[in-house]
Structures are given as C-alpha cells and as structure tokens.
Amino acid sequence: MFKNKRIGLVLSGGGIRGMAHIGLIKAMREHGIEANVVSGTSIGALVGALYANGNSAEEMLSFFKETPLFQYSFFTINKPGFIDTERYANVFEHFFPSNSFESLGRPLYIVATDLMRGKETVFNTGELIKPLLASAALPPVFSPVEINDALYADGGIMNNFPTEYVEDKTDFMIGSNVSVTVPLQKKDLRNSFQLTGRVTSLMIHASNDEKLQRCDLFIEPQGLEKIGVLDKKGIENAYNIGYEHGRKALDNILSKA
C-alpha cells in the first residue's frame, strides 16, 4: 500500500521519550518503508535530522547515549538557563560535518520558538546545527540559541507536532507522539511545580491530539510516562517501546491492506 506514495514522517518533542521515534524508524525500515519528507520538534528534530542524514537506528542511539546532558563544563552563569546549549555544537559537528540542510538525504523541517517575537519559526535550509540546538533547548534547563540576532528555544513551546510542513507534500503521513498524558492522583499535584508541569503537559497534548488525527498512521506509545524526560537511563526502554508499538501498528495496517 506504500508503493508509489510520498510518505511524510512527523516526530514530536518529549525528551528521552523521543527514543521511541527511533524504534518506529527501525520498524519502518524492517517493513521496507522510508519517509520522503520529515518534520520534527525538539527531540523529534534531532531524531529527524539523524534519520534524514541516513544514520542507522544503532547510530542514532549511540548519539544520544554518548552526548552528555549535564556536563559540568557546559554549565553557565552568563546566559539564561543552567546549561549553555551552544556548547553542544562540537558534538553535533561529528554527525553533521557539512552543517547544512542541503547535505541531508531527504527534506527536513524543524521548528523552534522565537522568544523575542513569540512565534514559531521553521528551518529547512542553510545552517543545520544551530536550529537543531535551538529546537531542543528546553527552558529553563538549556539556554536559548542566538540565530540572526534572535533568541530561539524549544519548538514544543509553540508547536510540538509540526504536521503543517509535510502534509501538503506527501500522500501518506506517519506520526509519532511521545508527549503522553496519563491520569494522576491528588498526591501528584501537591505543589506549584507539579501543577505547572501537569498544565503544560495537558496543553501540549490538547494541541497535539487534533493533529495526530490527521495522520494516516500514528503511534502514541503507552509506557513512556514512566520514563523521565531527561533520564538517560530510559533510552533503551523508550526505544524498545517505540519499536514494539511501531511494529504492531505497521503490521496491523498492512494486514488490512
């Protein structure tokens, strides 16, 4: 059913839970399915770039396992945020030596938030690494990234599931959403931080939900909620969850076809 169709792949933000995106990509490749166009936000932008770059699932996992999240020398007191996001540029240059969208094997659209104008910006041409860093710069942990005199932060603030940039260029859209929500107990909403986190999660989920329904096939894996957004110990678990959900979803739709 995928023959002669242009396939779009949309990848949400969600921190370490985004390793489930890699699991889906692994399942797609096992079924002989490759996307023609990719869009992503935050961790979805990073996975999307590695996929567009032609990296294997194993190479993608190595990238995230080997990249330090909280390296002491990356901490900053001169920028808003605890960690200087631009210090990761050297790590990214190893995987993207040409540092351009044009060097990738397929079109890629990544979203970042322009903090000064209060708008989302999509990047798909020119320099690659800075927009990637910006898209994944989750406040207040990571500092904003300066691009052309503007400060950019995590794309998920404005658009956590950017279907808009692929749906008019494809015939079949596959989506992966790892910003999942589950019912909570009263004990889980005992302070302002927990309340803020819950409200933010619900707002993102609400905006994602309508867009997910526009996908021809999507996964929203259960089980990811147990994995911390910045917990690198959950990399393998999130990857395996994404792979199992992706494999079953593809098997299901192909069996019906």
Beta-strand ranges (E) seen in the chain are 7-11, 37-41, 108-114, 119-123, 145-147, 150-154, 172-176, 217-219
Distance between CA atoms of residues 90 and 187, nearest Å: 42
CA-closest candidate to residue 69, choices 80, 84, 51: 84
- Whether residue 18 contacts residue 44, with contact meaning beta carbons closer than 8 Å, is answered with yes
**Contact at 8 Å (CB) between 173 and 39?**
no
At 92 the three-state DSSP class reads helix
Q: Give the helix ranges, DSSP H, for 99-149.
A: 129-135
Catalytic hit among 39, 42, 135, 143: 42
Is there a catalytic annotation at residue 73? no
Residue holding tokens 């819950």? 198
The CA distance from 200 to 252, in Å, is 33
Instruction: List phi, psi (to 5°) of 141.
Output: -65, -50
Spatial separation of the C-alpha atoms in residues 101 and 129, rounded to whole Å: 9
Q: Which of 39, 135, 154, 176 is catalytic?
A: 154
CA distance 76 to 142: 10
Both tokens of 102, joined, read: 């044009």
Q: Is 42 a catalytic residue?
A: yes
Q: Which residues are tagged catalytic? A: 42, 154
